[in-house]
Structure 1
Amino acid sequence: MGIVDDLQRARSAFERRDWAAAYARLTSVDGEPGVALAAEELMTLATAAFLLGDTDGCIRALQRGYRLRIDAGEVLGAVRFAFWLGLVLNVRGEAAVGSGWAARAQRLLADQPDDVLERGYLRVHDFFRCLDTGDFPGAMAVSEDMVGIADRHSDPDLLAQGLVCKGRLLMYAGRVPEGLALLDEAMVYVAAGELSPIFAGNVYCAMIEACQEVLDFARASAWTTALTRWCDSQPDLVPFTGQCAVHRGQILRLHAAYPEALAEFDDACRRYAAAGSQLAAGLALTERGDVLRIRGEWDAAQAAYEAAAGFGHEPQPGRALLLLARGRVPAAVAAVRRLLAETGDPVHRSRLLAGAVEVLLAAAAADEASAAAEELSTIATSFGCTGLRASAAYCLALVALDARDPDRSLQQARVAGRLWNELQAPYEVARAKVLVGRSFRLLGDEDSATAELTAACHSFAELGVAPARQEAERLLHTELAGGLTARELEVLRLVASGNSNTEIAHRLVLSDKTVARHLTNIFAKLDVPSRTAAVAYARDHDLL
């Protein structure tokens, strides 16, 4: 009765997600003289070991279960064990060995009926093989096959996995609303508790990652909260907790809770390091670098980006924006041009375009910046995600300001501010206020410009983002220095560029007499006698 009781206790612990207790009970029974666990119990042991982070223990249990099924002539059962061996080994980075197990499972199915559920599970391996070779039509066909087999056999695990695979592919093809709808459908099975723990964790993380990729912060926040609850209900859980920490950090970053976000990213890095998940650690380090860059901790941000690259994750566009912040404009431009040339699908391009606009404008590549902003706007309209629409509006405002079109810049900056405010993103709201202030200034409304820039300064100071605060303060100081109006500053900058009065009049659509009057006012306000002295004053006081 003792062994039977222990096995029953192990099953009960497994059902209540107490992986440590289930693992301990099963290993205890397995160590008894003359006792050997059955195949079903070995699968339970393997799952508990995986969820505790004991990958070696998981693989050993799966290998034993496979051998038991083979010896008993239970081919389909052996295929299940081989499937999991391939999956676990691939996750651990042993792709060649994992592929070998997938191939063995495929060979075992050669004499089995065509329509068996196990063929659907092996399609998971086929899907990732198609992705690795860039065969996206093949991957789409495989995902549809997975969904069809799962439907026929009423298997929620395979169905949810198939929906996730198909949904992500649709998103990368630009059909984001359709893709997200399939991911929502997969999440219904998770929320209803119908999935086994490993598939549930995979679906959770795939869903949130997809939302982050298209800046669908509302969905990402809701599902991150749910994932956190799911992880917290399993105190001994190791897999998925690193991803959960990253996603919590991303939401905290959106809300400008930077110290808390950094703590989550650091926690994720520790968890990934323990699990040996290098590429995932690279993502966490990139996110950490982005926060440090925003806060002005540039050396620390550079170190984070370098560490991320060392793990095989390209930390862009953050690294290019850091180059820009440090004045290395040509290097930043080269990086964003390369990235845009290499990146074809609209989802990944949408993550690059906003940063590219800022870099290209700094390099006076106005036409390229305008094209990038328009492309981002088109993508945002197609995807419909609030964060992406806000980012696109901000970029359009930047381009309009560069083109001296304050009416359009004001309109787009206000849209960006409203959308970021809906998402409770105070840093982005303050950045939009800066653009509103700059637009007011070009329209000659100096009082309103000062109010917006001052409000932005206060927000940046409260958030502890020194670079943005300093830039806003520079705008306040620069434009108000000497008491010059926005138009007078425009005239002075054109004088400094070597333009004659007639050329300035033509550029600004003014009369020569009006330009001369502006110059007289400039000389009087700056207390200088000539054009040369005015330009010298402007340079000395950073007005140019």
Structure 2
Amino acid sequence: MTQAAESSLEAGREAIARYAWHEGFELLVRADTEGDELSPADLERLGEAGWWTGRLDACIAARERAFASYREDGNARRAAIVAMALAKDYFAKGSSSIGAGWISRAERLLAEEPECLEHGWLQRLRAVLAHEGAGDYEKALEHGRQALELGTKFGDRELQAVALQDQGRALVAIGNVDEGMALIDEATVGAVSGELRPYETGVIYCNTITTCKELADYRRAGDWTEAAKRWCDRQSIAGFPGMCRVYRASVMLVQGDWPGAEVEARRACDELREFNVSYAAEAFYELGEIRLRAGDLSAAEKAFKQAHELGRDPQPGLALLRLAEGKTQSACSCIDRALADESRDLYRARLLPAHVEIAVAAGDLEKAGGATEELEAIAEKYGSDALRATAGSARARLALGQGDTGGAVRASREALRRWQSIDAPYETAELRMLLASAYVADNDQDSAVLELEAARAAFERLGAVAGTRHA
């Protein structure tokens, strides 16, 4: 190795050690270019720096070289760790078959090894695949428990933290919310206190926010999103900020900051296209939701189609867009198909409110009634205020469709109080519109006018053109 390459290599190692990812990446690339091939450990450092700076292709190339070097050196355990990292990289690119192939390689490499820490990381990866891929939460819970046992046995605090959180996520998904959130809170202590490596810290932030968002706990999701953003800024990293922007856009949309939400969503689209396909797809979907609420149906449809191209089901947004266009039968077909393909409770809870609204518009009150009851059962099971508010809104809409004006008024007022407590201005304004319709049906014109005026003012503040037009 030349003197220049050796100098770059040492400087690159030092930069990586202090998490100066951009500097470390450039220095290690220079060392690799100027001298002999890097060691497998240095190639791992180069891959990690590429990952943190959003250069996924460079990350994969370095890790594949590291894997080959470890295999050549007979280091099966370290090769298995790199294989697992490559599996996650290929899943992020949307190349699931290649990702599965790397998992098989890791399993084969560890099959003849005595029980070791690397088996724990393999169990952890299986927990993630069971949870996020198959939606098999019981299996995810079992893999998480095995990972935690091995992490504890071998004294690896990173594995202990993420495995503990994996168990918490699985318990929440099953419906044991209090127990699950307690484990998630325990796992976040290490992330907040700076005890963990950057990757595991980012994973814990990301998964905590995802769980809060799935529970529709927007306030808590917002708090954790801001904490994650501050952490990303301190780390000067590229990939995780884009992923955090997706969550920020979602939370800001609910809180009523639509211009800010759109900025975050568009930046996430740009940052994540070549880094994580599923998050990029989610960013486009959020952009579609923003434009739909603003009444820009053409832009909303374009964003929903881009989300679909990247693998994200564009429902319920596209179904509600069709309803706004007056294409009720098309809306019914969209939402029915989405529900037929989804069995997970919290994911169905995202679709069911649109199902009720569309079914009522189509005059299918029996279908709307079934969807309302299912949504109420999910809200009772998981217990978040936003889920209960959503279920109450559905009940009010159904009651109004059935001609039960008294029931519609009661359900609307209760849901309105919940949405106000959550600080969700658009949902609050929509409920005021629904309540106004119930008042009109009950011959209470004065109360109807009050609600309509309040709704109009809220829609104008938000920039909801369609809502303002109907108020």
Q: Does residue 1:141 correspond to 2:138, yes or no?
A: no
Deviation, 1:134, is 6.5
Alignment-derived partner of residue 156 in structure 1: 157
**C-alpha displacement of 1:271:** 1.2
Q: Which residue of the partner structure matches residue 243 of structure 1? A: 243
- Percent identity over the alignment is 34
Q: Does 1 or 2 have the higher relative contact order (CA < 8 Å, sep 6+)? A: 2
2:343 aligns to what? 344
Query: 1:27/1:326 Cα in 2 relative to 1: closer, same or farther (>3 Å)?
Result: closer
Contact 1:173–1:345 at 8 Å: present in 2 too?
no
Deviations 1:86-140 (A, max 9, x none): 33233333444443333333233233212x1101112244345556566654443
What's the TM-score, normalizing by structure 2? 0.90
1:351 shift after superposition: 0.6
d(CA) in 1 for partners of 2:358 and 2:165? 35
Q: What's the counterpart of residue 181 of structure 1? A: 182
Contact 2:94–2:278 (Cα < 8 Å) also in 1: no
- The aligned residue for residue 87 of structure 2 is 86
The answer (yes or no) to whether the contact 2:352–2:375 under 8 Å persists in 1 is yes
Indicate the residue corresponding to 1:365 in structure 2: 364
The one-letter code sitting in structure 2 at the alignment partner of 1:325 is A
Alignment of 1:252-331 (within 5 A): 252-275=252-275, 277-331=276-330
Report if aligned partners of 1:413, 1:436 keep a CA contact under 8 Å in 2.
yes
* CA offset digits 1:432-463 (Å, max 9, x no partner): 22233333334433222211211211221222
In structure 2, which of residues 8, 12, 15 is the aligned counterpart of residue 13 of structure 1?
15
Paired residue for 2:78?
Answer: 77
What residue is the counterpart of 2:25 in the other structure?
23
Shift of 1:51: 1.0
Counting only pairs closer than 5 Å after superposition, residues 94-133 of structure 1 correspond to structure 2 as 94-114=95-115, 116-127=116-127, 130=130, 132=133
Q: State the shift of 1:13 in Å.
A: 2.7
Question: 1:253 Cα shift?
Answer: 0.6
Whether 1:460 aligns to 2:462 is no
Offset of residue 344 of structure 1 = 1.8
How much has 1:394 moved relative to structure 2?
A: 1.3
Residue 446 and residue 202 in structure 1: after superposition, are their counterparts in 2 closer, same or farther (change >3 A)? Answer: same
Residues 174 and 383 of structure 1 are in contact (CA less than 8 Å); yes or no, is this contact kept in structure 2? yes
Q: Which letter maps to 2:19?
A: R
Alignment CA distance shift 1:155-1:465 (3 Å): same
Q: What residue is the counterpart of 1:166 in the other structure? A: 167
What is the Cα-based RMSD across aligned positions, in Å? 2.6
> Which shifted more, 383-392 or 105-114?
105-114
The answer on whether the counterparts of 2:281 and 2:311 sit within 8 Å (CA) in structure 1 is yes
Change (3 A) 1:95 1:357: closer
Matched, 1:197 2:188: no
SS at match of 1:312: coil
* Counterpart contact for 1:285–1:304, Cα < 8 Å: yes
Q: CA deviation at 1:314?
A: 1.0
Structure 2 SS opposite 1:296: coil
- List runs of 5+ in structure 1 lacking aligned partners: 473-544
CA deviation map 1:436-491 (0-9, x unaligned): 3333334433222211211211221222212222222xxxxxxxxxxxxxxxxxxx
Per the alignment, in what secondary structure is the counterpart of residue 94 of structure 2? coil
Native 8 Å contact 1:174 1:346 kept in 2 = no
5 Å-filtered alignment, 1:29-40, equals 29-33=31-35, 37-40=38-41
Which deviates further from its counterpart, 161-170 or 387-396? 161-170
Paired AA for residue 20 in structure 2: D
Instruction: Count residues with an aligned counterpart.
Output: 468
Output the CA distance in 1 between the equivalents of 2:218 and 2:129: 30
- Partner Cα distance (1:437, 1:135) in 2: 43
Deviation, 1:37, is 4.2
How far apart are the structure 1 equivalents of 2:141 and 2:379? Answer: 24
Distance in 1, matches of 2:410 and 2:360, equals: 19
* Deviations, residues 184-234 of structure 1 (Å, cap 9, x unaligned): 333222212233222322332222222222211022101110111122113
* Partner in structure 2 of residue 498 of structure 1: none
- The aligned residue for residue 380 of structure 2 is 381
Deviations 1:9-31 (A, max 9, x none): 43443344320112233334444
Partner of 2:208: 207
